[in-house]
A and B are shown apart, each in its own frame.
Chain A
C-alpha cells in the first residue's frame, strides 16, 4: 500500500523507526480547539477564580458575612461617592468597607465573596443531579426503544408541561411553611431540618434537580437514538458485545460531547433560578448571603444606594457570562460539524 510505504519512508527519513505512532484522539483535538478559543479560556479562568473566592471566602473576606455593625448602616467609601455624585448630600463615608455596607451594616464585599458559595454550589449540584437522572433515564429510553421509550418519553412530556418554577415555589412553600411545621420524626421534618442546616440550599437543589433532568433526558435519548443506528454498533453486536459494553464503550463516549455542552450552557439557568428564588424570598435563609437575596435587599434602596444592588448584580452577571463563554467554546470545540471552521 502506498500510504504505508510513504509512512515507512517518513519514519526512516526521520532516522529511526518508531514502532508505534501516537494517534490523536478526538478529545485531544477538541481540547486543542478549546484552548485556541480566547473567550472560552477567559470564561474558564474566570470560573476558576470564582471558585477560588468561594472556597477561600473565610480567608479572603475582610469581615464575617453576618456581623452587623448597626452604626455603619449604608456607609459608603469615598470612591463610590465619586462614581455616584448624587449620594454626596446624604451618604456617610467610611473607608472600612470596600464596596460599602448594607442596611444593617454588614460588609457588602464580604457578603458577595461568601455569596459565590451558593451560586457556585448550585453550578455544581445542578448539572450533577440533572446528568445523573437525565442521562440514565434518557439512555434507557433511547437504547431499548419501542414501547419502553414511548412510555418513558410521554411521562417526560407530562412533567415538562408542568411549570417548573411554580413547582419549586410550591415545594418551598410546603416545606418551609411557618403555619404548619411538620411533626418531628417525619420525613418532611428531617428534610426541613437538613434544609435549615444548609442555609436553605437543600430545597433549591431538590427543586432544580427535579425539573432540570427532563431536558437532559430528552437530549440524551435523541443522541442515543442517532448513535444506536450507526454501523459500528452493529459491528459491536457481531463481535458479541453485551448491551452494557455497547452502552458504555460505544454509545456513551460518542454522545458525551453534546451532553457536556448542553449542561454547561444550562448552568447559567440554574444560577439564575437560585438568584430568582432568593430574590423573591424563597431561596436561601437569611443571613446566608446569596447574590439574589442581596439584589433583593439592595432593590429597596436602589435610588439612594445603587451600590447595594449593582455589585451583587455584577457578580451574578460575570459568573453567568463566564459559564456561557465556556459553554460556547465547548460547543465549538466538540461539534464535529464546525470542524475546520474558524
Chain B
C-alpha cells in the first residue's frame, strides 16, 4: 500500500474498568486495565487483524474505538474528528460512519423484531431512507449478503447461525459506513460457515471499499483476511506488522510463541513443528506486572524488563514491536 490514507488513528488509548466496593457509598478499590496505552492507525480500505488470547483486551479496544465504552484517556481520530471528545447528539450522528459486526449471532439480533425491521432500523434512526425506499434498500441489502429478499418479514429465530450473521452484516452495511469493526464475527459459527462469511466480508470490502478492524483469535483466519496484523497481550499491543512479515518473521517473543501454536496442515512439517510453551498463566489485568507486561512469562526476560516499560517502536519499516530484546 503506497501512500495510504489514514482512516482511523488511535492515540494512547486507555480503558480502565473501575472495581468498586460498598453498599451505598461506593469506593473505587482498583481497576481492570483492559486497554493500556494502545496506539495504531488503520488505513483506508485495509483490514487490520487484531489477535490475542481471550481477555487480552481485543474486544474492549474495538468497543472503545466505537465509543460503546468511553475511553479513560487517549483519543480516537476518525475522519478528522476526535471521537473521545464527542458526546450526545454529535456522537450519535457520527456513528453512521462506523459500524460493528458482533460475535454472537444469536444475541446480536433483537428477537422481537423482523429481519426487515432490524436492517431498516439504522435507516429509520438516521432518516436516510424512508417508506418504500427503505423497504427496497432492505431487500437490496439482503440480496447483497446472500439472503433472499423474501426473508424481510421473518424473525431471527427462524434462521441458522450463518444466516443470522449475514443479517448482522446487512444491518452494519445499512448506513454505508466506512469502517466496520468485526468483533470475532466468525468464532461462534461452524467451520464450514466461517469460510462463507469471511468470503462475504472480503467481497463486500472489494465492492464497497470498506475498512475492517478484524478482531479474532483464529490466527490462520486472520492471516487469510488481514493486510496488517496487531498482536495484543494483556491490554497492550506487543507487535504490529504487515501480514507476511509478522507471520514469517515475528520479533516479539509472545508473537513467536503464539505462532508456534498454529498447527500446520502437512503431516511432515507438523512433525517437525517446535512449540514454544509459555510458563504460567496470564497475570491479572487488575494488577499487571511492572515494566514489560509479558516479562513474567517471557523466555528471554532480563532485569531491565521489570523496570522499564518497553517502547512501542518501529524497528523495521512498518514493523512495530514493544520489546527491549529486539
Contacts and interface: CB of A to CB of B under 8 A. Distances in A.
Interface of A: 1, 3-4, 7-8, 11, 18-27, 147, 150-151, 154, 230-232, 234-242, 245, 249-250, 253-254
A235 B100 contact: yes
A250 to B, nearest CB: 5
B151 interface: yes
A298 to B, nearest CB: 49
A7 B171 CA distance: 22
A232 B125 CA distance: 15
Contacts of B152: 20
Interface string B125-139: 110000000000000
Nearest to B163: A3
B153 interface: yes
Given A232-B110, A239-B125, A240-B95, A26 B154 contact: no
B147 A231 contact: no
Contact of A238 (B24, B68, B104, B154): B68
Contacts of A151: 24
Given A154-B24, A254-B112, A7 B168 contact: no
- Looking at A4, A7, A26, A239, which has the most chain B CB atoms within 10 Å of its CB? A239
Contact of A253 (B109, B112, B125, B157): B112
B39 interface: no
Contacts of A21: 150-151, 153-154
Contact of B104 (A8, A18, A231, A249): A231
Interface in B90-142: 92-93, 95-96, 98-100, 102-104, 107-115, 121-122, 125-126
Contacts of A25: 112, 114, 155
Closest 9 CB pairs of A and B: A23-B154, A239-B122, A231-B108, A253-B112, A240-B95, A231-B107, A240-B92, A232-B110, A23-B155
Contact of B100 (A22, A26, A238, A249): A238
Given A4-B148, A240-B92, A240-B93, 17 more contacts: A3-B163, A11-B150, A21-B150, A21-B154, A23-B151, A23-B153, A27-B112, A147-B26, A230-B107, A231-B108, A235-B102, A235-B108, A238-B98, A239-B95, A240-B126, A250-B110, A254-B112
Contact of B26 (A24, A150, A253): A150
A20 B150 contact: yes
Contact of A241 (B121, B147, B150, B174): B121
Contacts of B155: 23-26
A254 B111 contact: yes
Contacts of A7: 148, 150
Interface of B: 23-24, 26, 63, 66, 68, 92-93, 95-96, 98-100, 102-104, 107-115, 121-122, 125-126, 146-155, 157-158, 160, 163, 168, 171, 174-175, 196
A324 to B, nearest CB: 27
Contacts of B93: 240
Contact of B109 (A22, A147, A232, A238): A232
A18 B100 contact: no
Nearest to B20: A146
A27 B160 CA distance: 20
Given A151-B24, A231-B103, A234-B102, A23 B112 contact: no
A127 B183 CA distance: 42
Contacts of A8: 148
A74 to B, nearest CB: 58
Contact of B68 (A18, A234, A253): A234
Contact of A26 (B95, B125, B157, B163): B157
B146 A4 contact: yes
Contacts of B104: 231
Given A4-B146, A232-B110, A239 B24 contact: no
B134 to A, nearest CB: 14
A235 B103 CA distance: 11
A216 to B, nearest CB: 21
- Looking at A18, A151, A230, which has the most chain B CB atoms within 10 Å of its CB? A230
21 contacts: A1-B163, A1-B196, A11-B150, A18-B150, A21-B153, A23-B115, A23-B155, A23-B158, A25-B112, A230-B107, A235-B100, A236-B121, A238-B95, A239-B122, A239-B126, A239-B171, A239-B175, A240-B95, A241-B121, A245-B125, A249-B113
Nearest to A241: B125
Contacts of B68: 234, 237-238
B79 to A, nearest CB: 16
B111 A1 contact: no
- Looking at A18, A22, A25, A150, which has the most chain B CB atoms within 10 Å of its CB? A25
Contact of B121 (A239, A253, A254): A239
A238 B102 CA distance: 11
Contact of A235 (B114, B150, B171): B171
A239 B103 CA distance: 16
Given A239-B99, A239-B175, A232 B108 contact: yes
Contacts of A236: 110, 121
A18 B158 CA distance: 17
A1 B103 CA distance: 21
Nearest to A21: B150
Nearest to B145: A1
Nearest to A11: B150
